[in-house]
Structure 1
């Protein structure tokens, strides 16, 4: 069974994958900088995926209202197609930032110090059996 991206069900699966990952637990063991919100732009529609990350774990993962998502200490935004390519391993997130395809609001220097944790988090996301909108 595949899980549609983005959806509340996908967010829940990501939380479970993060919390089951020894690699993420180790690489983000001292993360205390607060939640991260992923903004997925799909034409006029937007989805805000809130991740309450703390000390190597994920306390909550959910879709939130735009006002709440915009208040996150870290907001990482991209078009749906770019998120799809990132999740499928076809687009490196650091390269996407430098190409302007992935926009980061928040302390970029802090995020860059946690690049291993970011890679481990994306590895968790890649393990989710995902159904993308343009796939049947």
Structure 2
């Protein structure tokens, strides 16, 4: 009887453990979001409608809005998130599709998700880019995604 190789395999982008980022991909209720922001759930909703936050809702549960937790992270590039939200609003693309995009690893980002990029993650090949160039690259990918989901 042979013993299987018990050496752990080196991680690859396709199978790495993203558990360490699990808190970034969770969602909060309107009340939880309001508690973190020290305001009312109504004020959170108004800010979301203004394009400051993403919220997810279900037609079956209109009063059960959920807010992705990464939006409370202190490292978040709020300006870039607002620009991304605005592009989705202008294209009349559902926020659920935006949420899906933000959680999906992107080849152009060396396997990072857009959320990780919004929080300051950067592939080595982006080291030489200015913050403006980095934002432009990010928004180009957003435009491509919007174009893909609209057709």
TM-score for both structures, normalised by structure 1: 0.27
Looking at secondary structure, tell me which structure has more strand per residue. Answer: 1
Looking at secondary structure, tell me which structure has more helix per residue. Answer: 2
- Highest CA radius of gyration, 1 or 2? 2
* Larger relative contact order (CA 8 Å, sep ≥ 6): 1
